[in-house]
Structure formats: structure tokens, C-alpha cells
Structure 1
Amino acid sequence: MFQPIQYTFRAMLQHLSIRNYATVQGLDVDFRPGMSALTGETGAGKSIIVGALGLALGDRADKTVVRTGAKRTEITAEFDVSKNDAADAWLEDNQLQGDAANSCLVRRAVGADGRSRAFINDSPVTMASLQQLGALLVDIVSQQEHQSLLQRATQLSLLDDYCVEHTLLEELRSLHGRWQTNQRDIARLRSDDDEGRVQLLTYQLDELRELAAEDGETGTLEQEHRRLSGAEQALAALAGAVQDIADHEQFNALGSLRRALQLLGDLQGDSNRIANAMELLESACIQIDEAAADLRAATDEFPIDPERLSQVDDRLGRLHDMARKHKVKPAELAQLTRSLQEQLQAIHGREEELQRLGDEDLKLRERYAEVAGQVGKQRRKGAGPLSREIEKRIASLGMGDAGMEIRFEPLASDAVNARGLERVEFLVSTNPGQEPGPLSKIASGGELSRISLAIRVVTAQTSQTPCLVFDEVDVGIGGGVAAQVGALLQTLGDSAQILCVTHQPQVASRAHRQYSVDKSSDGASAQTSISELDEDARVLELARMLAGAEFSDASLAHARQMLAGDQDSC
């Protein structure tokens, strides 16, 4: 017997803090497990609270969300992830675990300039990361989402959540990704003009090997060239310096110092200062004499060698010419030679690489087909039970003659994707004898809303997203149908956390708890607030929802009756 996939983990939104968002100046609210209804007058701001939660989880935002006069909007949501294996694993993989065990804090700040920042457990993260985690924590179902149900991709996701093992879907996506990468590598290798490339590389390498440039050769030759080309100038400079300090017949520094010492010789006994000066002059004579000797010896370091200079000049010219040809620096020629050799070797080894990639491609195709077959088998096995469950729920919502089936269509070989070998389409008939057709063609707006809700209720019991938020999905229905909607949501709330924004008293009365959203004004600005209602306050709120602001004793009695009918299960 078929059993739908059951996910035991259930995260819970514990606390929501909103600062300077739209009409909310400051708001803090605690939530608990089960079904919670958010009610209030039209325009009070119920959907604003849902929007703030969506913003905290990565929805797009701009500066218009910032309350007038404020510098920034800040939304913080705290979740209990003690039973959410997927979220806990994601936090661990991304090293974003919080200090408090089993708690996850997400925060979003949007400035008046539109700039946005996101945080998970007080660590800054990208918006993509925030959205990834948000998808594991909360699923917000709005009126607009009815349109997404018309898309086959959405329908396939709902079916997969209901009956396909998550690990199989992950492996299928991984295999397809690896297969596509392998295919691109094969195409790249096959598209290269190997023959022309080999000819060019061989020609270039022959030239470079003949030149035989070495690492560091250019720098060494340039230094030698400077020394050889400047040898005559250097020798002349050395000779002139030696003449000036020691060897000139008529005047040189050493001779001048010695003459000065002779003149002072007879005076050294008359003054200590003269004696000190003579010691310094004698020391200077010694140093100049040594300097002259070093300069004479240095002339050996500047040999005049025209033949060697010509050789160096020619070698440098060849290196520079080759470097210009290949658009590199002369010092990079040796590395260029090695690089071209590696490229040539890679081309010669390309056939081996193509063979390896071809073998890998075959293995990936075979494994993909095997896993996709298992996924398709589970889909077909679960499609019937899912259709029957949805039919039951649709019938309870006042569409007893409606029928539901899921049709499979195999994909062409060139259309196979990361989701398998087939696509599905939800077909519905709303009248007896009517041929089932696509939702977009068969169902009216009101019928689509009820069908969408029925599908959501059925698939939510197997969905991997643990907290469900229904934002006015019951618009356009009333009476007994609204009561059935409330009963369905209450059933979900027995095993999960449900937040429901509603105008229907039949729905609100089924909630395990109820919150009133109110808007006040001081004449200058509006302020949205929220409060949890006790039993007496719930009666008053339900009476208002039934009869309006001027409700009667009969409305109060009706409200008590509606609420009492649900007390045993609260």
C-alpha cells in the first residue's frame, strides 16, 4: 500500500520583531505551535506582518518599506530548529550555528537609501544564503500563489514532496549537473582546431628552442653590457680621480696635505689645537693614499673587450626581437617556452582525455537513467493517492463533483533535465461527465482558489517546509465552505505550525489561538499593533467579523457558539 513521504521535523516561528516597517513603528509578537489566526479590520496591517516575515527571509525590498521619518527598517525572526534536520544541517554546513542550542535568529535591515543587510545568528550573510535558509523554515502561501499552481514546474514539485524520496531527487540533480559539465568539456575539446594549433606551436617552439633563452639571462647580459659599454668612461674617471687625489705632478690632494703638515711642523708644540689638527691631517693622508691604491686596482674590473661587447649586444638584440614577436618581456621567454611545450603536450594527450570523458559520460548517462527511472516510478505510484486525497479535500470545499488526475508526459531526449525523464500536469474536471483539463482552462477564479487550498493542505502534510503561512487564501468563500477551510487548516495545525491571515470568522474560530491586528492614528502617522486575544476578546472579535462594528447580542451568542464548538480540540 502506498504511503506518502512523511517528514517528522517541524520548525517553529517563536518570535517576530518588527521595527519601522510600513505602518509598524515597533512590534513584538510570540508564536506557538498549532494554528494561529491573524484577524482585524481591512487595512489594519495583517498582510504587512506577513510581508515583514517574508522580508526577514529574503524577499526583495526597497526603501519604500522604511517607515516615514525612520533611518531603517529592521525585522528579526527567531525559530526553534530542534526538529528541523534540513535547516540544522544547512546551518552546520555554512558554519552559522548560533550560541543558543536549537535556536536560529534571522535578521534583515533595510536603510532609507534602499541598501539591505542580512544576518543569520548575528553573522552577516548574502541575500542568496538568507533565501536558501528561509525556504527551509517557512512557506508563505498567498492569493497570488494560486497562479503559480498553474505552472507545471510547481505541480511537479508538489508531487515530488508528496511521494519521492528527497535523497533520490538530490542525486538526480547532482548527476544531471555532472553530466552537463562533462558534455561541455567534451564539446570544448572537440571544437578546438588541434591540427592548426599543433602546427603553430611546433613552429614557435622550434624558434624558441633555437634561441634557448634561460631564466635570468636577460638581466645578467644587460648588466654585463652596461659594464662593457662603459669601460672606457669608467677607466678615464678612475684615472682622473687618482690624478686629483695623488698622482698629479703639480697639484693633488695628497701633496697639498703633506705641504700643510710641513708648514705646521714647527708650531705643533705651541698649541694643542694645532697638534690635534696635524693628527687629523696625517690620518687623511693615510686614507687618501689607501683610496688611491683601491682606485688603481679597480681599473682591472673594467676591461676593454670590443669583441665580447659585440657578442652581448647581438644576444640581447635576438632576445628582444623574439620577445616583441611573442608580445612578452625578454625575461619571460624561458617561461613561454615551457608553457608552449605544455600546451603541445596537452593537445597530444587530448585524445586520451576525450576517451576518459566519453567513458565518464556513459557511466553518468546510465546512472542518471537508473535514478530517473526510480524517481518516475515513485511519482507514478504516488500520483493516484495524491489525486484521490485532493479530490476528497475539494469535495469538502463545496466541489463534490470535481475530479482530479495527474497526467505524465515523457520528455524528448534533448529536453531531459535535472528533474527527470517526464513532466506532469494536474488535470481537473469540475462537472460530471466533463473531460479533465488543465487548471487554467477548466477552473474559474473561485474554483482555482479552493483547488489550490485543497492541494496545499494535502501536500503540506508531506512538505519539507515546516511552518506554513496562509495569507488571505480564503478570500471569496464563505459559509459552510469557509468552515471546511477552517477545519482543514486546524487539522494541519495539529501537527505543524500554521499562521493564517483571514477575514472569515468560520476560519478564525478554528484556530488554536487568535491575534488581533489593529491600526491607530494620532493624526500625523498610523501605527499597526498586534495582540493575542483571550477567550472573551476572541468572542468580541468573532462577533465583529460576523456582523461588523455594530454587532448584537445574537452575534455574540453566535460567536460563542462557534468558538465553543472548537474548544475541545484547542
Structure 2
Amino acid sequence: MLSRLSIRNIVLIEALDLDFAGGLGVLTGETGAGKSILLDALGLVLGNRADSGLVRAGADRASVTASFDFATLPEPLRTIIADAELEVEPGEPLILKRQLRADGGSKAFLNDQPVGVALLRELAPALVEIHGQHDDRGLVNPRGHRLLLDRFAGGDVARVAAAWSTWRNAREALDTARAQVARAAEDQDLLLAHLAELTVLAPETGEEDTLAQARAQMQKGEKLADDLAALQRLWTGSDSALANLRGASRRLDRIAGEHPLLAEALAALDRAVIEAGEAEEALERAAEALAFEPDELDRIETRLFDLRAAARKQSCQVDDLPEKMREMREALEAIEGGTEHLAELEAAANKAALAYRESAEALHEARRAAAQRLDTAVKAELGPLKLDSARFRTAVTRLPEERWGAHGLDSVEFLISTNPGADFAPLAKIASGGELSRFILALKVALAEEGGAATVIFDEIDRGVGGAVASAIGERLARLASAGQLLAVTHSPQVAARGDRHYMIAKSSEGTVTRTSVHLLSAADRKEEIARMLSGAEVTAEARAQADRLLERA
């Protein structure tokens, strides 16, 4: 609920801090005292459009801060705050702040964390519900009527939503499978031809690299063939360099013992023979490695060409060809087994459709029964509110199948007829300002709405009525407020007397400066204010006595 409202430099309000509590709080004051300023300030902090005209004359900026206390933060608020990745500690008040500059710029904060104004607007419906003379939201807006009736009916909306989700998913799976089978069937002949080609080709993953490396080696051998042959001739035969080295080594070996230097020469020559022998072996191995057969090279190049041509045809890499073959086989299998699979999916979709229709039909019947009870309950409230000639009807209309959804089969709208014989029409199109407010009050009482906004505000709901009607309005406001927090801006002493807390709005002038102030009244001041409301400018003893009687009856 709203626990505190702090206003700085908004129109005629220079500085104001108001504390609120649960139950019914009433706000009174003379016409023009500035009651609308409070609502404008509250609207600003709840995300209404920033209007530089709200900034007090002579000030460069204005601000409004609203604090809301909750035993446990309601689910809608928790979800919105979590989605915005903001932090609100358990048990901590929710503090909204809006700063407005004289040039029209504004900033918004949630518990000192900067936020967008759109977030304030998203939070607002769960925080404050305002009903006034020109209300076009809340109970007047038909978009919310179905939800209100469902709360009143206690219907299993969650079951219908779950059944709808299951049916929708089953239909999507069936449609997807049908499309896949249809596409595959159109391409069946082409798939068979492509798969036959690839089956004959029998590509293997990694084959391209292996063939490319083998071809590169053979091409090197072809290039180096003449040089290798010439080198081999140098190392072979009786007159080769290696044969001469070995002959020299044998001859030197016979005389090496004659002198140390000859021994050194022999050792060096032996090393040369060994190194030359290793070189000969390496040349032989290289010749073998680089050896190529023109027919094998041609085979490898032909294979590479065929693989790469197939890859281009399938718009993939050579290594992806085996996977392409697998996909083709699966597509062909889907065609062959498609009828059976589609039959299974169709059976699942039909079963889900039946489950949805059963749950939605049950909700439809619950809505129709609840609509009759709601119509009766609202009718009982209309007479005491001086709406004797009016009629109320909850229209539950079955929608065409293409408009069914998680909400069920129906549209719901609250309709009224204000005169005997007149047709029923939407609330906002028929009722005048005062009638509309009283219709809303009757609805609120009849619905005993749960899960609505934390704070409900009625702005001059009693305009144009008095006496027994005003008393009936006050009694119903008090009844609504017993389960939460309700604030009422009122001109009616009968309504004001019902309040648990009474705030007086006053305007004062000092020279050219005009200010609006709001004060929580004591018991004595409250009696005096109600007496003023009864008698006018001059408070009489009779008015005070009547105020006493009103307060006693409340």
C-alpha cells in the first residue's frame, strides 16, 4: 500500500510529506484548493507524461517520491522488477521517484536505481488504481473484464492456458512435419539421383587431404626425377665417387701404422665413407618416396576432381559429403515413414484439441454462471447508489475458433443501460461522469476484487449526490477499504465521516505567492471540517451537532 508521498515544487505545492495507512483515507477541501494537484503528482511518479507546467513557478525542478510497503512483494511486481534486473531487498519498501525539470526533461528511479519511465508505467497497475470522473482505464476498459470475471468465477484459467499451450505445440509439430514431408516428396527423385551418385562415389571424411598430399608428393617426384637419377649414377658403379673413397680407404689402411698422421687420415677417410654411405641410403629412400607412376597420379587427380565436383554440386565441403548422404537417407526415410509419423502427430494434436475444448467449455460455463451472479450482485448495489433505472449485464460472447487462445473461447464485456428500454452499451459510452463513478463503485463492491492494485483511489465519486446516496457511497467505500487501502477525494460529509484518516487540503496566499498544503486532521479538527462541509463558509452549532451524529454513525 502507499505509505508515504513526498512532493517538491509541484504547481502550488512547495514541500509536502504525507504519511498514509491502510483502511479508508478521505481528502477534503474547498473547491480549487488543489486536490487535483495531488493526483497529478501521483500520476507523475507512476509514469504519466512529463509536463513542464507541473513545475512550480520560479523553481528549476520538481520531484515526487512515493513509498509503498508490502508484507510480501506481489508476484506481478516481483516479475517486472526481476525482468528489469533491479534489486529490492525482502521487506524493503518500494520507493518510486520522478524528477522533472522546468524544460520538460525527467528522470525516474526505483529504490535509488535509475530506471526508464516505461518501467514506472508497467508497475503502476499493480500499485495504484484511480477511478475518476473521466476514467477510461481499470474497470471501464473491456480488455480487463475477462480477467475480473474469471477472478469472480474462480474458474481454472491456468488449466485452460496449459491445455492451449499443449494443443498449440502439437499443431505446430504436425504442421512442421507435414511441410517437411511435402518438401521431401517434391524432391524425392532428385534425392534418389544424388544419393545414387554419392553412393557410387563413396566419399570418406579426410579423403581429400590424403589424396592431395599423395598427389603433391608424386608431383615433386616427377619434377626431381632427372636430378635423382643423376645423383644415383654418381653413387653407383665401380668408378663412382663412393667406390673410389672405399678403395682409398682400403689402401690407406695397409700403411696407416707407419705414421700417426696416416692413421688420422684413415680415420677421417673412414668417416667420409660412412657419411657417404648414409647419403647413398637417404637418396635411395628419397627416390622411393618420390617415385611415381603416371597411372596412379592420374587416378588420384581424377578422384580429387570427382570429389570436388560432387561437393560443388551439393554446395558443401568434400569432407561434408558423407553427412550429406546421411541427410539424404533420413529425408528419404521420412518420406517412406512419413504417413505413419504424420498419423501419430495428428492423433496427438486431436487429443490435445479435445482436452483444450473440454477445459475451455468448462471455463465458458463457469463464466456464464458467474456472469449471472455478478449481474445480480451489481443490481443489488445500483438502487442505493441512485441508479434505480440502470441495468447491468455481463456479456459472455463465444469467439470464432480462429480467436480462441490461452484465455479460452470467450470475450467478456461489462454493459449497462441507464434508462428503461434503452439498449445495453459499454460503460464509458453510456454513463455520465457521476454515474460512471458509481457504476465502478458498484462493480468494485460486487466483485470484491482480489489481486488488484495495492491502493485504490476514487476521485469525487460522490459528485452531484447527497443524503442517502452519499451515505450509501461512504458505506461501500468503507467496506472496500476494510480489506486494503482506499483513498477518496470527496465533497460529501457523509463519505468523509466514514474515513479512518482524514486529510484536509487547503490553499493560502501571501502576497503574490499561493501555496497548497495538506494536513492530517485530529478528531476535533475533523469534526470542524465535516461541519464546514455541511454548512458552508459559516460553521454553525447545528452543523457541528450534525457532524457529531455522522461521526457516531460511522
Normalised by the length of structure 1, the TM-score is 0.68
The DSSP-based 3-state class of the residue aligned with 1:327 is coil
State the structure with more CA Rg: 2
2:23 corresponds to which residue? 34
CA distance in 2, matches of 1:122, 1:372: 45
* Mapped partners of 2:2, 2:121: distance in 1: 16
Deviation at 1:390, TM superposition (A): 1.3
2:68–2:95 CA contact under 8 A, matched in 1: yes
Q: Deviations over 1:316-347 (max 9, x none)?
A: 22222222222223333233222333333334
1:130 Cα deviation (Å)? 8.0
Between the aligned partners of 1:315 and 1:450, the Cα distance in structure 2 is 89
**Corresponding residue of 2:317:** 329
The aligned counterpart of 2:550 is: 565
Q: Partners of 1:503 and 1:448 in 2: how far apart?
A: 17
Gaps of 5+ in 1: 1-11, 242-248, 250-281
User: Do 1:177 and 1:418's aligned partners in 2 also have CA atoms closer than 8 Å?
Assistant: yes
Following superposition, the deviation at residue 542 of structure 1 comes to 5.9
Do the aligned partners of 1:176 and 1:418 also contact (CA within 8 Å) in 2? Answer: yes
In structure 2, how many angstroms separate the alpha carbons of the residues matched to 1:228 and 1:71? 85
* Counterpart in the other structure of 1:229: 219
- Tell me, which stretches of 5 or more residues in structure 2 are unaligned? 232-239, 241-267
**Partner of 1:205 in structure 2?**
195
Match of 1:500 in 2: 488
CA distance in 2, matches of 1:305, 1:34: 102
In 1, distance between residues paired with 2:491 and 2:198? 83
Distance in 1, Cα, partners of 2:116 & 2:506: 34
User: Are the structure 2 counterparts of residues 144 and 435 from structure 1 closer, same or farther at C-alpha, using a change threshold of 3 Å?
Assistant: closer
1:465 to 452, 458, 461: 452
Partner of 1:45: 37
Residue of structure 2 in register with 1:484 after alignment: 472
Q: Give the Cα–Cα distance (whole angstroms) in 2 for the partners of residues 468 and 510 of structure 1.
A: 17
Cα offset for 1:562? 4.2
User: C-alpha distance in 2, partners of 1:361/1:178?
Assistant: 9
SS of the residue 2:393 aligns to: strand
Q: Does 1:420 align with 2:408?
A: yes
Query: 1:230 deviation in Å?
Result: 3.5
For residues 411-450 of structure 1, the aligned pairs below 5 Å read 411-432=399-420, 434=421, 437-439=424-426, 443-450=431-438
Q: How far apart, CA to CA, are the structure 2 residues paired with 1:117 and 1:201?
A: 61
1:474 to 433, 444, 461: 461
Q: Which moved more, 1:489-498 or 1:397-406?
A: 397-406
Matches within 5 A, 1:532-547: 532-535=520-523, 538=526
Deviations 1:527-547 (A, max 9, x none): 988664444565676678779
| Residue of structure 1 in register with 2:264 after alignment | none
Is residue 2:181 matched to residue 1:196?
no
1:47 to partner: Cα distance:
1.7
Q: Is 1:449–1:474's contact at 8 Å kept on the other side of the alignment?
A: yes
SS in 2 for 1:554: coil
The separation in 1 between residues aligned to 2:375 and 2:117, in whole angstroms, is 37
Native 8 Å contact 1:492 1:498 kept in 2:
yes
Cα deviation digits, residues 84-108 of structure 1 (max 9, x gap): 7756996999899978555563657
2:28–2:503 Cα contact (<8 Å) kept = yes
Q: Indicate if the aligned counterparts of 2:45 and 2:98 stay in contact, CA closer than 8 A.
A: no
Please give the per-residue CA displacement for 1:171-222, whole angstroms capped at 9, x wherever unaligned.
Answer: 1122223323333433444453442133333233223333322222233333
Counterpart CA distance in 2 for 1:322 and 1:520 is: 92
- Alpha-carbon deviation of 1:554? 1.0
Q: 1:467 Cα shift? A: 1.9
Give the alignment of 1:249-328 within 5 angstroms: 293=279, 296=283, 299-300=286-287, 301-328=289-316
| Alignment check: 8 A CA contact 1:24 1:67 kept | no
CA separation in 2, counterparts of 1:110 and 1:530?
A: 21
* Contact 2:148/2:449 (8 A) holds in 1: no
Task: Provide the identity percentage.
Answer: 28
Q: Displacement of 1:240 after TM fit?
A: 12
Q: Aligned-pair distance for 1:504?
A: 5.4
How far apart, in 2, do the equivalents of 1:306 and 1:385 lie?
97
SS at 2:383 equivalent = helix
- Matched residues in 2 for 1:349 and 1:71: separation? 72
Stretch of structure 1 that moved more, 336-345 or 510-519: 510-519
Aligned-partner Cα distance in 2 for 1:31–1:295: 100
The residue matched to 2:324 in structure 1 has which SS? helix
Paired residues, what number? Answer: 504
In 2, Cα distance between the equivalents of 1:540 and 1:236? 125
For the pair 1:456 / 2:444, whether they are aligned, the reply is yes
The separation in 2 between residues aligned to 1:536 and 1:106, in whole angstroms, is 33
Q: Which residue of 2 aligns with 1:215?
A: 205
Q: 1:44 to 1:539 in 2, by over 3 A?
A: farther
Q: Counterparts of 1:144-183 in structure 2 under 5 Å? A: 144-146=134-136, 152-165=142-155, 168-183=156-171
Q: Distance in 1 between matches of 2:109 and 2:224?
A: 69
Question: Over the residues paired in the alignment, what is the CA RMSD in angstroms?
Answer: 5.4
TM-score by length of 2: 0.70
2:358 is aligned to: 370
Report the 3-state secondary structure (helix = DSSP H, G, I; strand = E; otherwise coil) of the residue aligned with 1:201.
helix
Q: Deviation of residue 400 (structure 1)?
A: 2.3
CA contact (8 A) 1:439 1:448 kept: no
C-alpha deviation, 1:34, in angstroms: 0.9
Match of 2:237 in 1: none
CA contact (8 A) 1:136 1:466 kept: yes
Partner of 2:248: none
